[in-house]
Amino acid sequence: GAGVSQTPSNKVTEKGKYVELRCDPISGHTALYWYRQSLGQGPEFLIYFQGTGAADDSGLPNDRFFAVRPEGSVSTLKIQRTERGDSAVYLCASSLVGGRRFYNEQFFGPGTRLTVL
């Protein structure tokens, strides 16, 4: 597909469990972002990858949250010991950063709705 894809679209888990959320960016996009959107709120930044490395992880709320992008393409957001407060829609975005480009739009995926019971 041409856009950012995220799997699963919905995930229901129990408190204390471990979950992994996957993001497939647009092919060739070097930058990848994770955001979290709680009900009634705007998206909140979590982490930004440029290539394989995390360029900014200042939005990760605590050490239960971790994200990887080992080959500079697909990324996985990992949440350990889930809590009810982690329930939200997790959004991924990608962007083609670099070169002489003046503006780099972030293209958002449809999100994964995580529900922690």
Partner 1 sequence: GEDVEQSLFLSVREGDSSVINCTYTDSSSTYLYWYKQEPGAGLQLLTYIFSNMDMKQDQRLTVLLNKKDKHLSLRIADTQTGDSAIYFCAESRGSASKIIFGSGTRLSIRP
Q: Chain centroid to CA 8: how far?
A: 12
Q: What are phi and psi of 65, to 5 degrees?
A: -100, 135
Of 7, 13, 20, 50, which lies in the binding site for partner 1, with binding defined by CB under 8 A?
A: 50
Token couple for 105? 């739009």
Does residue 75 belong to the site contacting partner 1 (CB under 8 A)? no
In angstroms, the CA 116 to CA 24 distance is 23
H-type alpha helices, 1-117: none
**C-alpha dihedral sign at 38, 9, 68, 115:** positive
In the bound complex, what is the minimum distance in angstroms from residue 12's beta carbon to partner 1? 18
Of 17, 45, 51, 68, which lies in the binding site for partner 1, with binding defined by CB under 8 A?
A: 45
Token couple for 31? 């930058």
Give whichever of 40 and 70 is closer to partner 1, judged by the CB atom.
40
Token couple for 47? 């982490």
What radius of gyration do the chain's Cα atoms show?
14
Task: Build a one-symbol-per-residue string for 53-72: x at contacts with partner 1 by CB under 8 A, - elsewhere.
Answer: ---x-xx-------------
Q: Which range, of 19-27, 62-70, 75-83, 95-103, touches partner 1 by CB under 8 A?
A: 95-103
Enumerate residues 4-33 that contact partner 1 by CB under 8 A: 31, 33
Binding residues for partner 1 (CB under 8 A): 31, 33, 35, 40-45, 48, 50, 56, 58-59, 91, 95, 97, 102-106, 108-111
